[in-house]
Structure formats: C-alpha cells, structure tokens
Structure 1
Amino acid sequence: MKVVVWNENRHEKTNAAVSTIYPKGIHGAIAEFLQEQGIDASTATLDEPEHGLSEEVLNETDVLVWWGHKAHEDVNDEIVERVYERVLEGMGLIVLHSGHFSKLFKKLMGTTCDLKWREDGEKERIWVVDPSHPIAEGIGEYFELEQEEMYGEHFDIPSPDQLVFLSWFEGGEVFRSGCTYTRGNGRIFYFRPGHETYPTYYNQNVQRVIRNAVEWVKPVTRNRPEYGHSQAIEDLSSKNKQ
C-alpha cells in the first residue's frame, strides 16, 4: 500500500510558530508516523510541479491524505479533477481539519462544507459514537486535546454514511468530527482535529485514528463499473418474437 500525504505547506513558510511545531511540515510529521508503522508514505506539496500530484504519482497511490487551509484557491482545477477521478476509481482519501473547505472535498460532497469556527485554544473532547467501526479501533470512549481550534455545527455536509466521532468543545459547541463516505469505488474519511499552531499530529490517539483510517479507506481490488449503453446479458424475449 502506497500513501501520499499532501499539504499546501504555506503556513510552515510564513509562520514561525508552525515551523517550530512542525519543522518537517505537517505533511512530514504525518508521513513520519505512518512510516514508523511500516507504511510506504511519501509527501507532496502545493508548490511542486502539478502540486506533486502528477498522473503517474496518483496512479500509484492507494491512499491520499489531504491538509489545506489558506491556499485552497491556489489548487489548480485540473489537478482537483484528476484527484476526484482517482477517488471515483477507488483511491482512498482522508481529508484533515481545514481541508473541509478544499475544492476537492466540496466537489465530492456537493455542498458548501461551511461551519462555525473560533481559534481560542480550547479543550476538545472527541467521543467515539460508533465503537464498532474499524477507524475507532484502539481508541477509548473518548480522548481529549488540551488546545485546538473550535469547529461548530451546523457543518454543511451531506449526512455521513457513518459518524465515527463527535467533538465537544470547552465553549459548548459540538461537531461531527469523524465522517465516512463512499463516492464511486472510493472511500473517504473526514477527520476534524489538526490546526496548524497546535501539536495535534503528535497526539497518539490522533495518530492511531489516521493509521486506522488509512487501512479502512484503502482500495479493494475491483474495477470501476462501466457506464452508458449496455448489451443485454440474456436473450430479449421481445426481439425473439419479431
């Protein structure tokens, strides 16, 4: 299984707080803990040619992890369409935190994907609401992050196929923070935590969820269905009577 961790990698270049927390970039931190679990994980960033997502790279990618925030509009529409088609073909996709507002996620969801937010560094308690789901394996009834950005309902997304996690914030809000979808042959998981100025991706529970999600969204060995005009499999009685 080959995983590519994509990050716009803009905050790391302009914000000293972010580069201090993530000296290898958010993408580097995520790829590193995946590699420690024996997963073939590489990285790609916005400012690389074709955003690091050439047809060759995507054709060899089983799971794409996506983090973006301040540069959603800088992502080329052609690349968005390329990734979108790969998801429909069966490539797994994990969208993290502010990636909810990416062109790609909005295209896959068909909604604005908007929400309420507040950056006050408050406590987030993440509850497991589907303990039978493989993505929740190894996670207790809940876990806490001492400092995170708040996301609050209403989250303008389609109703998830499965809701795995629900967040509560110190200010009182709740949020659907772990959502699964299928689009075409592809599986998608949205996971909320991960604001760039907090060390969220070093948290052991967050890492476990992402590792579990990689396993869950990975492709099954199956061709994408063919569409359009189709020849009959059986003899058509109406034609036989003519």
Structure 2
Amino acid sequence: MKITVWNEFRHEQENPIVEAIYPKGIHHTIARFLTEAGFKTQTATLDQPEHGLTNEVLDKTDVLVWWGHKAHEEVEEAIAEQVKTRVLEGMGLIVLHSGHFSKVFKKLMGTTCDLKWREADDKERLWVVDPSHSITEGVGEYVELEKEEMYGEHFDIPAPDELVFVSWFEGGEVFRSGATFKRGQGKIFYFRPGHETYPTYHNQEIQRIITNGVKWAASPKSKKPTYGNKQPLEEISKKG
C-alpha cells in the first residue's frame, strides 16, 4: 500500500514553537510512524509544483493523509478537484485537524464544515463510541490529551456514515472528532486532534489511530463500475 502525506508546511517554517515540536514538519512525523508500521510512504507539500500532487503521484497513492490550516485558499482549484476525483475513484483520504476547512474536504462534504474553536490549553478526552470499529483496534475506552485546541459543536458536516470518536473538552464542549464517510468508491476518515503547537502526533495512541485509519481507508482493488447506456447481458424476449 502506498501512502502520501500532504502538509502545508508553513507553521513549521514560521513559528519557532512549531518548529521545535516538528523540526522536519508535521508531514515527516506522520510519514515516519506510518513507514515504521510497514507502509510505503512519501510526502508532499503546498509549495512544491502542483503542491506535490501531480497526476502521477495521485494515481499511485492508495491513501492520502491531509493536514492543512492557514493556507487553504492557496491550494489550486484544479488540484483540489483532481484529489476529489481520485477519492471518488477509490483513493482513501484521511483528513486531520484543520483539514476540515480544506477545499478538498468541503467539496466532498458539500457543507461549510464550520465549527467553534478555542486555543486555551484545554484538556481533551477522546472517547471511543464505536469499539467494534477497526480504527479503534488497540485503543482503550478513551485517549486523554493534556493540552489541545478545542473544537466544538455544531460541526457543519453531513451525518457521518460512522461515528467513531467523540471528544470532551475541559471548557465543557463536545465534538464529533472521528467520523467516516464514503464518497463514490473512496473512503474518508476525519480525525480532529493535531493542532500544530502541541505534540499530538508524537502521542503513540494518536499514531495508532491514524495508522488504523489508513488501513481502513484503503479500498479493495475491485473493478471500476461502468455507467451509462448498457447492452443487455441476455437476449430480451419480445413482449406482446
């Protein structure tokens, strides 16, 4: 299975706090633990030609992991459409944290994907609400993060196909933090934790969830359906 980890890679170059947590970028941290899990992994960033997401890269990607925050509008419309098309054709998509506002996710959801937020070092308790789901394999009843950015309801997304995690925050809010969707032949997992000024992606339980999500999002290599006018498989008897 081939994984591409995409990241804006802006905060790490502009904010010393983020650089200290992710010296080579969030994408490298995520790619490293996915590689250690046995996946063939590559990275791509916003400032590369075509944002690193050429047709050749996308055609060879089984699952795309997406992290974005401050530069959503800099993603070219054509590239966002190409990614959407690949998801509809069967490429898996893992959307992390502020990627909820990415062009790609909003195109696939068809809603604003807006929410409440607060940066106040809230403790987050990420509750498993579907313990039978493969994304929760090896995870306890909850994951506790000492400090995270708060996201709160209402989260303007379509009703998920499956709700896997719900977060509680120290300030009192709750949030649908782990949700799955199917679009066309592709599978999507939105996973909330991961604000850039916190070491969330160094947390082994968060790494396990993302790794499980990648396994889940990979589509089987089934034959692509055909559409449009179709000749009968058998001779149609004359009626009347």
Q: With structure 1 as the length reference, what TM-score do the two structures score?
A: 0.97
The C-alpha deviation readout for 1:123-147, integer Å capped at 9, x for no partner, is 0000000000000000000110000
Following superposition, the deviation at residue 225 of structure 1 comes to: 1.5
Please tell me the residue identity of whatever aligns with 2:235: D
Partner of 2:65: 65
- Quick check: 1:120 aligned with 2:144? no
Q: Is the 8 A contact 1:124 1:169 kept in 2?
A: yes
Q: How does 1:102-121 map to 2 (within 5 A)?
A: 102-121=102-121
Q: Percent identity?
A: 70
Q: Partners of 1:127 and 1:226 in 2: how far apart?
A: 41
Partner of 1:98: 98
Partner of 2:165: 165
Partner of 1:216: 216
Partner of 2:5: 5
The C-alpha deviation readout for 1:144-173, integer Å capped at 9, x for no partner, is 000000000000001110000000000000
In structure 1, the gaps of 5 or more residues are none
Partner of 1:47: 47
- Quick check: 1:88 aligned with 2:88? yes
Q: Partners of 1:32 and 1:155 in 2: how far apart?
A: 31
Partner of 1:196: 196
Q: Which moved more, 1:37-46 or 1:148-157?
A: 37-46
- Quick check: 1:74 aligned with 2:74? yes
Please tell me the residue identity of whatever aligns with 1:113: C
Please tell me the residue identity of whatever aligns with 1:148: E
Query: CA RMSD for the aligned pairs?
Result: 1.0
Partner of 1:140: 140
Q: Partners of 2:195 and 2:223 in 1: how far apart?
A: 37
Partner of 2:20: 20
Please tell me the residue identity of whatever aligns with 2:141: E
Q: Partners of 1:176 and 1:53 in 2: how far apart?
A: 29
Partner of 1:150: 150
SS at match of 2:104: helix
Q: Is the 8 A contact 1:89 1:223 kept in 2?
A: no
Q: Is the 8 A contact 1:100 1:106 kept in 2?
A: yes
Q: Which moved more, 1:214-223 or 1:135-144?
A: 214-223
SS at match of 1:114: coil
Q: With structure 2 as the length reference, what TM-score do the two structures score?
A: 0.98
Following superposition, the deviation at residue 221 of structure 1 comes to: 1.0
The C-alpha deviation readout for 1:185-206, integer Å capped at 9, x for no partner, is 1010000000000000000110
Following superposition, the deviation at residue 56 of structure 1 comes to: 0.5
Partner of 1:185: 185
SS at match of 1:187: strand
Following superposition, the deviation at residue 115 of structure 1 comes to: 0.3
Q: Partners of 2:107 and 2:224 in 1: how far apart?
A: 19
